[in-house]
Amino acid sequence: MVWARKRVATDECPRTAITAESLRLMETYQAWKTLGGGDTRRLPAREVDALITLEAEMRAERNDEQQ
Protein backbone atom coordinates (compact mmCIF):
# COMPACT_ATOMS: atom_id res chain seq x y z
CA MET A 1 0.00 0.00 0.00
CA VAL A 2 1.48 3.32 -1.08
CA TRP A 3 -1.28 5.70 0.00
CA ALA A 4 -4.52 5.48 1.98
CA ARG A 5 -7.06 7.90 3.39
CA LYS A 6 -10.29 6.82 5.04
CA ARG A 7 -12.10 4.63 2.50
CA VAL A 8 -9.67 5.15 -0.42
CA ALA A 9 -6.38 3.34 -0.99
CA THR A 10 -3.98 2.79 -3.88
CA ASP A 11 -0.88 0.77 -4.64
CA GLU A 12 0.47 3.54 -6.88
CA CYS A 13 1.53 7.10 -6.19
CA PRO A 14 -1.66 9.20 -6.43
CA ARG A 15 0.25 12.04 -8.11
CA THR A 16 0.75 9.92 -11.22
CA ALA A 17 -3.01 9.33 -11.39
CA ILE A 18 -3.74 13.06 -11.76
CA THR A 19 -4.14 13.75 -15.46
CA ALA A 20 -4.69 17.04 -17.23
CA GLU A 21 -8.35 16.03 -17.61
CA SER A 22 -8.82 15.29 -13.90
CA LEU A 23 -7.16 18.59 -13.00
CA ARG A 24 -9.47 20.41 -15.43
CA LEU A 25 -12.51 18.74 -13.88
CA MET A 26 -11.38 19.75 -10.38
CA GLU A 27 -10.93 23.34 -11.59
CA THR A 28 -14.39 23.20 -13.18
CA TYR A 29 -15.79 22.02 -9.85
CA GLN A 30 -14.10 24.88 -7.99
CA ALA A 31 -15.46 27.46 -10.44
CA TRP A 32 -18.94 25.88 -10.27
CA LYS A 33 -18.91 26.08 -6.45
CA THR A 34 -17.57 29.65 -6.49
CA LEU A 35 -20.41 30.70 -8.79
CA GLY A 36 -23.02 29.13 -6.53
CA GLY A 37 -23.32 25.61 -7.93
CA GLY A 38 -25.87 26.58 -10.55
CA ASP A 39 -27.62 24.87 -13.40
CA THR A 40 -25.75 21.95 -14.94
CA ARG A 41 -28.11 21.22 -17.85
CA ARG A 42 -25.79 22.83 -20.41
CA LEU A 43 -22.70 20.93 -19.26
CA PRO A 44 -21.49 17.68 -20.81
CA ALA A 45 -22.56 14.56 -18.87
CA ARG A 46 -18.93 13.77 -18.00
CA GLU A 47 -18.56 17.15 -16.27
CA VAL A 48 -21.85 16.79 -14.42
CA ASP A 49 -20.75 13.35 -13.20
CA ALA A 50 -17.47 14.83 -11.97
CA LEU A 51 -19.29 17.69 -10.20
CA ILE A 52 -21.62 15.24 -8.45
CA THR A 53 -18.75 12.97 -7.43
CA LEU A 54 -16.58 15.81 -6.14
CA GLU A 55 -19.50 17.37 -4.27
CA ALA A 56 -20.30 14.03 -2.61
CA GLU A 57 -16.67 13.64 -1.56
CA MET A 58 -16.56 17.19 -0.16
CA ARG A 59 -19.73 16.54 1.87
CA ALA A 60 -18.28 13.27 3.19
CA GLU A 61 -15.12 15.12 4.27
CA ARG A 62 -17.18 17.79 6.05
CA ASN A 63 -19.29 15.17 7.80
CA ASP A 64 -16.16 13.31 8.94
CA GLU A 65 -14.69 16.54 10.32
CA GLN A 66 -17.86 17.25 12.31
CA GLN A 67 -17.92 13.81 13.95
**Residue 23: per-residue pLDDT:** 92
What does the domain layout of the chain look like in residue ranges?
19-66
Q: pLDDT (tens digit, 9 = 90+) per residue, 17-56?
A: 788 999 999 999 999 999 998 889 999 999 999 999 999 9
**Residue 20: per-residue pLDDT:** 92
d(CA 6, CA 9): 8
25: left (phi over 0), alpha (psi -120 to 50) or beta: alpha
Strand partners, 5: 8
Q: CA Rg, the chain, in Å?
A: 14
**Residue 55: per-residue pLDDT:** 93
Using pLDDT thresholds of 50, 70 and 90, give the confidence band for residue 1: low
